[in-house]
Amino acid sequence: MGIRKGDLVEVITGTDRGVRAKVLRVDRSAGKAVVEGVQRVYKHVRRSQKHPQGGRLSKEMPLSLSNVLLVCPSCKRAVRTSARYAEDGGKYRYCKKCQAEIGQIAPPKTTRKPS
């Protein structure tokens, strides 16, 4: 999965199509992400000490990772991403359109000296 917490994504389907926002959380086991301001629902809350007024709380619900695309920081477009290894042995995400590196997936491998 090429999307992480803090990435800028664009929603490609649904009622919020075309919205660009930041990822708040990613649930890898369910394949879903919570995106800031997208897929908002109302939760009705009874009066309590925590919520003395009661009423309706607006919150974001998770949406499928297949419904969002990562926005490339260099070309500013919603793009597909892939992974590749660099010369130093590190694994990086890159944009399929402009071939720019987006972020590191795994650190470079360090070679241990024999003792």
My answer on whether 33 and 66 are in the same domain is yes
Has residue 115 got a pLDDT over 70?
A: no
> pTM here?
0.80
Q: Residues 34-73: pLDDT tens digits?
A: 999 999 999 999 999 998 999 999 999 999 999 999 999 9
What's the confidence (pLDDT) of residue 114?
Answer: 66
Q: Identify the bridge partners of residue 106 per DSSP, sorted by sequence position.
A: 91
Rounded CA separation 99/34 (Å) = 27
H helices present in the chain, as ranges: none
My answer on whether 65 and 108 are in the same domain is no
Has residue 1 got a pLDDT over 70?
A: no
Rounded CA separation 107/86 (Å) = 10
* 64, 31 contact by CB (below 8 A): yes
CATH of the domain at 19: 2.30.30.30
Number of domains in the chain: 2
My answer on whether 56 and 96 are in the same domain is no
**Residue-range definition of the domain harbouring residue 90:** 80-115
